[in-house]
Amino acid sequence: MNDVNLPYGVVRNSLAGAATVSGPVVQAGSIHGGLHLHGPPALPTPRQLPPCPRRLVGREADLAALDRSLAPDTGFADATVVVTGPAGVGKTALAAQWLRGQAGRFPDGQLYADLRGHAPGGPADPAEALGGFLRAFGISPVPVSLEEGVALWRSLAAERRIAVLLDNASTAAQVRPLLPGTDHTVVVVTSRRRLTGLGIDGAVFRLLGPLATAASTEILAERVGRSRVVDESAAAAEVVDACAGLPLAICLAAARIAARPAQSLAATAEMLGRGTDRLAALNVEGETVQDLLDASYGVLEPDAARLYGLLGLLPFPVFTLENAAVLADVDLAAADRLLDGLMDVHLMEETGPGRFRFHDLVRLHARAHGAQVRDTPPARAALDRIVDWYLATATAAEAVVSPSHRTLARDYRTRSVHPAREFEGDVGALEWLDAERDRLAEVLRWCEELDRPAAAWQLADAMWPLFLRLRPVRLWVEAHRIGRRAARAAGSRSGELRMLTSGGNGLRNAGEGEEAARWFTEALHLARDTCRPLAEADALYGLSQTHRMAGELDEAADCLHEVVRLREAEAYLRGAALARLACGEVLLLADRVAEAVEPIERAGRELASIEDDYEAARATAFLGLAHGRLGA
C-alpha cells in the first residue's frame, strides 16, 4: 500500500496483515520493456553414494539384516545402523549397495561423508562433514560454530526423508553430531572400530565377516572369466584360499590376474603362497591390503601394538587370554583391556570365551611387526615366558593326574606375573591338557626354533597324562621324537632315557612294535651304562610289552620278573606290584594259569594296601579269571 502523507511523486510501499513476499523482488516506479530475473539454478537432489559393485556376492544375509533394521510397516524410521568389520571386508560396498537399493524410500537425498577414521592425516572434523551436508541443500555460508551447524542440520533433516552414509568413522563422538535424530532418516555408519558408544543413541550393529569360499570363488570368476577359473580350478582354489575371504584381497588378486591374460593362475597362486610376501603382492595401482592394515595398526596404543606383534609370533592361530597376559607380563584384567583395543579396530576376533584369533592376512601382518622386534631382549623374554608358562602348567597338571610319574627337573628361564594354573583335581587338569593339546604341541615344536632343547623334552615329559589317558598316538610319537633329539642336544641323559621309554610306549600303542623294541633296548643299555636301576626297569617293562605284542610270552614274563626284582630293590613297591600283575596277565595268556595265581594274588594285596583301588580291582578281575579257568 502507498503512504498518502508523502510528497507528490514519492512512493513508499509497505506490507500489513498476513501478507508475505518470497522470491526475487523488484521495486521500481515504472518499467518499460521486458523484465528478466536471474538467480542461482536449483540444486539437484543429493545422490552422493560412492560407486559399488552391481551385485554383492555372498552378502545376501547381511543385506536382509539391514532390511530388517527399517520399520516393517512403512519402511521409515529414525534408524542408525553401524556396520563394522576388519579392513577390506567390504563394509562400504555393502552400505552403499543397500542404501542405493532403498533410494525410493529416501526421495529427498542420499548423503555421503568419508570421516577418514584411519587416514594418514587423522580423522575428519565432524564440522567438515556437516558443512558438506548443509551446502548440498543450498545453505551457504554455513554456521561457524559446530553447535549452530548441528541445530540447522537437524532442522533441515526434520522436513526431509533422507539417507546418510558416514564412512570410515573413528569414534562415536565423531559420528554423534552428524545424526539427524528425526523421523524418516536412516544413517549407516561404517567403521573398523566397534563404536559401541553409539548403542546409547539406539544404533543397531552388524558385524561383517569374511566371505565363504564359494562366494570368493564366484567373485574371482566374475572378474577374470569363468572359463579360466574352471580350467585352472586347483590354482583358483589356492588363490581364493590365500585371500582368506577378504573381498578387497580377492579383487586385488583378480585385477592382477586379469591384467596378465597370458599368465596362468598358478603363477599368481604361487606368488600368494609366499608367506608375508602375500600382503605386498596384493597390490594394484597403489591400493594394498598392507596399507589398510597399517592404518588400523597405527591407531593402537603402544602396549596394544607391542602385544599385537608378539601375538603374531606365536606358533598357533588361536590363543587364549592367559597367553596374552603371559606375553605382555600383565594380569588377566590388563590383558583383556589390551585385547579389547585390538578387537576394537577389528585386528582380532573372539572365537569363544577367552579364545581369540587373527584373520589369516592380519596374522601375516602381525607376524611381520613381531619379526621387527623378535631378537630384542624384551621380545625374547616374552617368548620364553610363554614356553615356561606352558611347561609349568603342564607340569602342574602332571603332578595332579599322574602323581606316581616321577617329575624330572624343569629348566625355566623367566618369571612371570601370571603364574601357572593350579588344579584342584585330576578332572580339571586333564580337561586343560585336552583343551590345550594343539597349543602344547605347537609350543613343543617351537622349542627347537627358539633353541630351547631342555624345554622341548621336558614339555613332552610333562604331557605324559595326556598321552596315557587320552591316547593321541600320533602326537605321542611325534612329541617324543622331538624330545629325544632335544634331550641329546641338551646333554641330558635322564631326559633321553625318559623320552626313550615314554616314546617307546607311544610307538607300541601306534602299532610300531619293532621300532618300540629298538627304543626300549637303547633305553636299557643307556640305563645300565649310567647305573639307573629304575630306568632299567622301565625299559624292561616296555620290552615285555613288545614281546607280548609279538607273541613272545615267555620272553615277556622273563622281563617282568626282572622288573619286579629291580623295583623292589629300589623300594618302588607300587611299581613292583604292577609288574607282578602284568606278569600274571602274561602267564594267563601263555596258558600257565596255575603259575599266574600267586603273582596276581600278591599284586592285589599290595595294591589294596596302598589304596590303589583301580589297579587292585583289575587284580581281582584277573584272579577271578584264573580261578575260573582252573575250574574253581
Q: Which residue has the higher pLDDT, 15 or 155?
A: 155
Q: Which residue has the higher pLDDT, 17 or 92?
A: 92
Q: Which strand (E) or helix (H) includes residue 82? A: strand 79-84
Confidence of residue 2 (pLDDT cuts 50, 70, 90): low
Span 603-615, average pLDDT? 93
Q: If phi over 0 gives left and psi between -120 and 50 gives alpha, with beta otherwise, what is residue 198?
A: alpha
Place of cell 586347483: 234
Q: What is the CATH number of domain 292-374?
A: 1.10.10.10
Query: What is the per-residue pLDDT for 74?
Result: 46
The strand pair at 162-167 and 110-114 is best described as parallel
- DSSP, collapsed to helix, strand or coil, labels residue 126 as helix
Between 207-211, 357-361, 557-561, 593-597, the lowest mean confidence (pLDDT) is in 357-361
How far is the CA of 170 from the CAs of 99, 125, 530, in angstroms? 21, 11, 67
- Residue intervals of the chain classified under CATH 1.25.40.10 are 436-629
Amino acid at 51: P
Name which of 274, 282, 223 is nearest 249 in CA terms: 282
Please give, one letter per residue, the 3-state secondary structure of 376-395: CHHHHHHHHHHHHHHHHHHH
- Residue intervals of the chain classified under CATH 3.40.50.300 are 60-207
- Measured CA to CA, the distance from residue 87 to residue 167 in angstroms comes to 12
- Residue intervals of the chain classified under CATH 1.10.10.10 are 292-374
Q: What is the CATH number of domain 436-629?
A: 1.25.40.10
pLDDT per residue as tens digits for the range 528-585? 999 999 999 999 999 999 999 999 999 999 999 999 999 999 999 999 999 999 999 9
- Measured CA to CA, the distance from residue 539 to residue 520 in angstroms comes to 5
Contacts of 293 (CB under 8 A, 6+ apart): 87, 279, 347, 361, 362, 365
List of E strands, 305-420: 318-320, 349-352, 355-357
Q: If phi over 0 gives left and psi between -120 and 50 gives alpha, with beta otherwise, what is residue 631?
A: left
Centroid of chain to Cα 157:
42
Angle between helix 533-549 and helix 493-509 axes, rounded to 10 deg = 20
pLDDT per residue as tens digits for the range 121-153? 678 889 888 988 998 988 888 888 889 989 999
- Measured CA to CA, the distance from residue 152 to residue 534 in angstroms comes to 88
How far is the CA of 247 from the CAs of 66, 92, 524, in angstroms? 19, 11, 60
Contacts of 140 (CB under 8 A, 6+ apart): 134
Task: Reply yes or no on whether the pLDDT at 419 is more than 80.
Answer: no
pLDDT per residue as tens digits for the range 158-208? 888 999 999 999 999 999 999 988 878 899 999 988 898 998 888 999 999
Confidence of residue 41 (pLDDT cuts 50, 70, 90): low
Query: N- to C-terminal Cα distance for the chain?
Result: 135
- Measured CA to CA, the distance from residue 632 to residue 630 in angstroms comes to 6
Angle between helix 493-509 and helix 453-462 axes, rounded to 10 deg = 50
Amino acid at 9: G
Q: Which CATH architecture has domain 60-207?
A: 3-Layer(aba) Sandwich (3.40)
List of E strands, 85-184: 110-114, 162-167
Output Rg (C-alpha) for the chain, integer angstroms.
38
